[in-house]
Structure 1
């Protein structure tokens, strides 16, 4: 085998030595006190964003899933908030001037409940005082005076009417229809027979008198009604004045208490007027009240007094510092609150006591944390949140009222001033989406807090990582970890990061390994987690998710998928791809074949012709054309056509990581020199023939290794990778062991020349010379064909 370019075994994985830890197990060290580490950029940004007070400096925390950004954000916010100012209490009360627009009142922390209790006590005292006043001797005396004045006037009117009727020799009789006038004869009512026996002239005279007297009776009745109405008004005014006098001192006491609170004074003034106007509510009488006082007077006497209740919306009695709210379901009503309804007489009715707070009410004066994906899944939430942050006003609306299928009696609560710091948490895609398409985004979220997916693998970060493991084991009640196990986890972290010089910040993924390694140690009855338990945890994780990978390897082993791992073939090579199945990625070898023939079409991408090629793959093949023309078409055009394809693929092929692989197969076909089928290749190439790095290098190597192992390792097999990807190696132990034993090989190359020599065993100059010779022959053939066409 060609030893040139082989990657030393010590570079195949980031091997951290257990002896570099100054302890035996994590029991001997201190737990990490910080919630997160290795995110200095994010820490500085969030520190700034939380402390700046100007409007618009809300935060958007960006980072990969599982990096701990939500946990860190919440912990950091609470750390800052505990030293903040406790915000105001808020409550809603009845608006006596505009009943459909409840009034919002604010109080210093803990005072809203005090105000509620004072109003509740006031209502009880009002009821007691008003009833007592109406039962007093003074009120009874005044009531009798009103009635006596009424009776005297009415009696005088009726006496005058009786005298008038008597003077005209008529009488008055009460009937079911009212009062009727009757002519008299000799002091007794005239009978119908007597009336008929009278001459016509006398009957006409009596009828005329009867009409005149009826008119007087009607007028007397009208005057009595006016006097009765006046009496009712006088009586009502007497009661109002009695209620006003009786309650004045009670309201005056509260006015003194809230003398500095103008809005409360306005409310108390309206309440006092309303109490006086609706004194009947405190009498215990139910007569004729319901019609004028709905919907507040439905039910028992307690419900009738609902207008005098206080609905405490936000109570900061037990608050310490500024509030912190993490809203996990940011629907519109969960953010902005809602007004509940109840069924009443075939419609849905409500009142100010049914106003419920949302997350913005509870976090007002503090901090609100929301997952961006959850927020954007509720479009109205995002639009209304933007409006609230721009106007700095918290307005509660029933957004579904227009779509209601039944009639509703709605209310519009008074808006509340909004002073909240919103922290959105999301991935880079959502951030860039909002930044590009929402013109208000940068005005409202001026602070970007960016979490990195990895950190430097420095001694300091390794020490902090050990402290993180200690803290997590204590929190999750796991077994302590031996330093050998910890070294394996650090190496696995570098593999996840895709760089031997880095550690991954996907703490959620690493925490799964901690939990499962502890589990397997407990199953063995161990008291400490060892390196074998970490390996078992990783193997079990893979086993649970690698069914598809195993099926594909079986198909390769039995020949269903055609991949050669031995021998030499012209124009045929093994390329490597990575398949992603949820959270599991694995490498799969693909046979790539090339056919070259006389023509002027250049390189034909069969995948593109079949609409199975992505833009990046197409670009890679165009680069091949550039390389070939630059290398072999300096003195004459390329008289060649070539077809390239991934055999037995039926889905979209994209990416340029196989462009160098395709170039090697193309050079093999043109030169007629065979390629070793035991070597798989990955890496892109530029027009200068330089090999460029690719992603998924570990999965690609391991994918080909396991296929070779399935078909039988010969010691002649291996993978060729770009030299820049050596730092990304973090291969599994069985692969590393096979390389150490010489049963498998890893090469790194910088140029096409280096790669073709490893694949063919021939020098690059020899290969290129054969290509030139083949192209010259093809060019001569092309000229002859052209000449023959011209002669014809």
Structure 2
């Protein structure tokens, strides 16, 4: 006769209904609706550690103290980071503007000039107006009568000097009876006879002596002509230099008054150096400004493109304009690619080729955030590994260098420009999840050097009065921001209870406000549909029900399959070696519990416990570990004085996908003990919980979904009053069950037990005492462990029978082995 467990003992292991859910009394709120609550001042609640780290990281000025804001999605870390940075930035000074200008000394190296905030565009306007003034002044000067008179006078003087040389040459030729004739090929000498030019025919009739005499005089004149030409060329060169000098003096005089205000206005040495170089280049290239606009045909305009592009050198490219920035700049870069971060050089097509200049330099996010804060998502940044590499280099160098990425990567560069680097002082805030942080910390040696402040957002906060009021402040602030109706105190209580469920701990509230804000919006929607000016608790419950209904299609279909017997699950009666385990399935954000039949078969052998899922490659490593622990428990419990000749097979029936986790390890052990003892298990009780080698029950996750999933199946198949779930005692604090489950528990139609050991659990499942060691180190008679021990003793005895060990071996093989043993 079996020793049964007293009902009072089993009842003490039941979890009281009052502990199945954390209840929030609406009376804790000293107001009727959130319209009367205090607004949220800091923008976030329940993140004291993150707030302190953020304040420290944003305030410290030394290099390397950039921030990595870490936390799961939905904790509000991005919103808080942007809000906090924006608040702090308003108290900081506005940084300088930056402009790129032409380098008149080294054209391939554009210069970077800085100006006080808002002065960059003013400088550009001055330079643009200066350019227009230069055009007007030079054109006016060089088209004026005074300039023309001076030029003609200068040219005439030099022409007169040149004419003197020509007159002397002609006089010399006349003395020798020659006349000179200037031709495109040079100077021709023609003999004169009686004052008339000698013809070639007449020259040919002269005697040889006369011809030689004339040729001698001709050569003498040619030598004189060559010297004259040299003298004339020198005069022409002097004239060109004089005209050029006169032109430069005229240009300098014309534009002098235009540059003086700039010299007086800008005292910065670099700016003054640029203005001086600008002035000298204009004087040197004054002819560019003397060209009058005229109608040109398309071909001529193409040929003039290069000349017109030279005007670009006299422009200013404002790459950073902080004229409209209040305080320090805050840039949130959503696509942190290389060019978006570090800027780029754009190109234009000119006569079939790609050209660029300093006016086509475009700023990146680092330029715009210089002197302030740059916020990025770490995951997005790491999708551009080259950008991450250059960002580290830029932060180390504390300067922004605009480069051609193709050139950096060894490809053909389309530009030879090397803009001057701009000094960088920026606080970078990266936002990411813990996996990204751990990966960078482990694999990137520069990460800790550059991001020394870790701002960690927690997933939960204490379930206490102060946070309840802070939660109400959050609801008010968010509602005002989104134009929502006020929430009644009863709705706040319902929201906080849902927050406890999301935290999966009665002592905690979730900080995953993404799910909370979604519930706020949907509850307000149902209040609007009902024509209520205030959101009440029933609207929150309606929103939760609608959320579940939109997502629980798979849950209902699987439950229907259990109801019609397609999936075989018993919720009544008793079976040996069979038990209901509980699993949690996740589809998107919706999780639901599902019972699974677990069966165990035990038999004589030495193969140990066979995990059928592992043999079929449907078991994960953690699940396999859980089964190995079962072998340790059985060996420690029953194999101290005998071998354990046990073979067993365990499986999740009707599962065809991967199984992992150890939350069913205690369930599997119960099935093994039932199979070994021959004592049946009550099928109306489902089990969850892992176990260690000492038989101690360990906590698991998803306890609410597991209980509710089994309750739903029992309710669909018919509640008997004897059904329930066994959970680890550590998971009682995680209970946040739905009202219908609690009502069934209160009515005695459903039960939840908490256990600490396998012994407590097996007694609930079978109603039989587990049994302890007696006086002779055996198990008490008529207990479950005694039955298991006797079964194992019989199996050990059967396994040691020589008849069981007879093996049919080929005699030739035996002879070969014996020959090897005797050395033959």
User: Counterparts of 1:126 and 1:729 in 2: how far apart (Å)?
Assistant: 82
1:605 aligns with 2:578: no
- Unmatched runs of 5 consecutive residues or more in structure 2: 1-6, 295-300, 772-782, 810-824
Structure 1 residues 628-643: aligned runs within 5 Å: 628-643=634-649
Equivalent residue for 2:597, pick from 591, 594, 605: 591
- Taking the aligned partners of 2:802 and 2:558, their CA distance within structure 1 comes to 47
In the other structure, the counterpart of 1:45 is 53
Cα deviation, residue 587, structure 1:
1.6
Residue aligning to 1:545: 551
2:737 is matched with which residue: 711, 731, 739?
731
SS at structure 1 position matched to 2:52: helix
2:389 counterpart SS class: helix
Partner SS for 1:105: strand
Residue 416 (structure 1) aligned to one of 407, 422, 442: 422
| 1:272 counterpart (243, 256, 279) | 279
- Pick which of 410-419 and 179-188 moved more: 179-188
Shift of 1:196: 5.0
Does structure 1 residue 22 correspond to structure 2 residue 30? yes
Q: Judge conservation of contact 2:406–2:413 (CA < 8 Å) in 1.
A: no
Where 2:579 maps in the other structure, the secondary structure is strand
Which range moves more in the overlay, 262-271 or 396-405?
396-405
Structure 2 match to 1:298: 305
Q: Does 1:426 align with 2:436?
A: no
Instruction: Tell me the distance in 2 between the aligned counterparts of 1:558 and 1:787.
Output: 46
The Cα offsets for residues 510-558 of structure 1, whole Å up to 9 and x where unpaired, read as 0111111111111122222222211111111112122222222222222
C-alpha deviations, 1:460-514, integer Å up to 9, x for none?
Answer: 0001111111222222111222222221111110000111111110111001111
Aligned residue number for residue 775 of structure 2: none
> Residue 763 of structure 1 aligns to a residue in which SS?
coil
Unaligned 5+ residue runs, structure 1? Answer: 288-293
2:774 corresponding residue in structure 1: none
* Distance in 2 (alpha carbons) for counterparts of 1:272 and 1:175: 44
- In 2, the alpha carbon distance for the partners of 1:516 and 1:211 equals 112
Aligned partner (choices 308, 315, 321) of residue 315 of structure 1: 321
Which residues of 2 match residues 689-728 of structure 1 at below 5 A?
Answer: 689-728=695-734
For the Cα contact (< 8 Å) 1:716–1:743, is it kept in 2? yes
2:814 corresponds to: none
Matched, 1:262 2:279: no
Q: Say which SS state the counterpart of residue 470 (structure 2) adopts.
A: helix
Match of residue 774 from structure 1: 791
Partners in 1 of 2:670 and 2:522 — Cα distance? 44
Q: Secondary structure at the match of 2:801?
A: helix
Aligned counterpart, 1:579: 585
Find the partner of 2:760 among 754, 767, 771: 754
2: CA distance, partners of 1:616 / 1:296: 76
Alpha-carbon distance, 1:638 to partner: 0.5
1:290 aligned residue: none
- Contact 1:297–1:305, Cα closer than 8 Å, also in 2: no
**Structure 1 residue 206, shift from structure 2 partner:** 5.9
Q: Whole-Å Cα distance in 1 between the matches of residues 699 and 410 of structure 2?
A: 59
- In 2 relative to 1, CA 241–756 (structure 1 residues): closer, same or farther, beyond 3 Å? same
Decide whether aligned partners of structure 1 residues 737 and 207 sit closer, same or farther in structure 2, where only a CA change above 3 A counts: farther
Comparing 407-416 and 199-208, the one that deviates more: 199-208
TM-superposed deviation, 1:105: 0.9
Q: Could you tell me whether the CA contact under 8 Å between 1:255 and 1:265 is conserved in 2?
A: yes
In the aligned structure 1, how far is the partner of 2:684 from the partner of 2:226? 124
Identify which of 359, 376, 389 aligns with 2:395.
389
| Structure 2 counterpart SS, 1:305 | helix
Deviation at 1:193, TM superposition (A): 4.2
Tell which deviates more after alignment, 386-395 or 238-247.
Answer: 238-247
- 1:3 is paired with a residue of what secondary structure? helix
Give deviations 1:382-427, integer Å, cap 9, x for gaps: 1111111111111111213578999834422111111111111111
Q: Pick one of 245, 248, 258 that aligns with 1:240.
A: 248
Contact 2:798 2:804 (8 Å CA) reproduced: no
SS at match of 2:305: coil
**What is the CA distance between 1:649 and its match in structure 2?**
2.1
Per-residue deviation, 1:215: 6.0
Counterparts of 2:737 and 2:227 in 1: how far apart (Å)? 114
Identify if the C-alpha distance between structure 1 residues 65 and 790 changes in structure 2 by more than 3 Å, giving closer, same or farther: closer
Confirm or deny: 8 A CA contact 1:67 1:507 kept in the other structure: yes
**Could you tell me how far apart the structure 2 residues matched to 1:150 and 1:110 are?**
54
Question: What CA distance in whole angstroms lies between the structure 1 residues aligned with 2:313 and 2:155?
Answer: 33
CA distance 1:133–1:176, change in 2 (3 Å): closer
Q: Tell me what 1:672 maps to.
A: 678
How many angstroms does 1:654 deviate by? 1.2
Q: Is the 8 A contact 1:563 1:590 kept in 2?
A: yes
- Cα offset for 1:198? 5.1
In the TM superposition, 1:468-547 aligns within 5 A as 468-547=474-553
Q: Hey, what does 1:291 align to over in structure 2?
A: none
Counterpart selection for 1:437 from 438, 443, 448: 443
1:558 maps to which residue? 564
Q: Quote how far apart the aligned CAs of 1:684 are.
A: 0.4
CA–CA separation in structure 1 for the residues paired with 2:803 and 2:611: 26
Deviation per residue, 1:256-315 (Å, 9 max, x gap): 3333x111121122112112111123334589xxxxxx99973897x6533222222222
**In the TM superposition, what are the counterparts of 1:346-361 in structure 2 within 5 Å?**
346-361=352-367
Q: Give the secondary structure class of the aligned counterpart of 1:764.
A: coil
Distance 1:445 1:487 in 2: 40
Contact 2:302/2:351 (<8 A) preserved: no
C-alpha contact 1:347 1:406 (8 A) present in aligned 2: no
| 1:133 to partner: Cα distance | 4.1
1:230 counterpart = 2:246: no
**Given that residues 594 and 645 in structure 1 are in contact (C-alpha distance below 8 angstroms), is that contact kept between their aligned partners in structure 2?**
yes
TM norm structure 1: 0.93
Aligned pair in 2 of structure 1 residues 263, 558: CA closer, same or farther (>3 Å)?
A: same
**2:86 counterpart of 1:78:** yes
Contact kept? 2:582, 2:595, Cα under 8 Å: yes
Deviation at 1:125, TM superposition (A): 3.6
**Closer, same or farther: CA 187–550 of 1 in aligned 2, 3 Å:** farther
Could you tell me how far 1:677 is from its partner in structure 2? 1.6
Change (3 A) 1:266 1:476: same
Distance 1:253 1:484, change over 3 A: closer
TM-score (norm 2): 0.90
User: Which shows bigger deviation, 722-731 or 25-34?
Assistant: 25-34
Taking the aligned partners of 2:566 and 2:534, their CA distance within structure 1 comes to 46
Deviations 1:719-768 (A, max 9, x none): 11111111111112222222222222211111100110111121112111
Q: Distance in 1 between matches of 2:786 and 2:726?
A: 23
Please give the alpha-carbon distance, in whole angstroms, between the structure 1 residues aligned to 2:581 and 2:289.
91
1:628-667 correspondence to structure 2 within 5 Å: 628-667=634-673
Whole-angstrom CA distance in 2 between matches of 1:679 and 1:247 = 99
Could you say if the C-alpha distance between residues 207 and 580 of structure 1 is closer, same or farther in structure 2, counting changes exceeding 3 Å? farther
Cα separation, partners in 2 of 1:560 and 1:387, compared to 1, 3 Å: same
CA gap of 1:73–1:791, structure 2 versus 1, over 3 A, is closer
CA distance in 1, matches of 2:185, 2:92: 79
User: CA, structure 1 residues 701+100, in 2 after alignment: closer, same or farther (shift >3 Å)?
Assistant: same
| Aligned equivalents of 1:713, 1:206: Cα separation in 2 | 145
RMSD: 2.7
1:627 and 1:214 map into 2 onto residues whose CA distance is 126
- Using a 3 Å threshold, how does the CA distance of structure 1 residues 503 and 168 change in structure 2: closer, same or farther? same
Kindly state the Cα deviation for residue 662 of structure 1 after the two structures are TM-superposed: 0.7
| Conserved 8 A contact 1:327-1:368 | yes
Question: Size of the alignment, in residue pairs?
Answer: 784
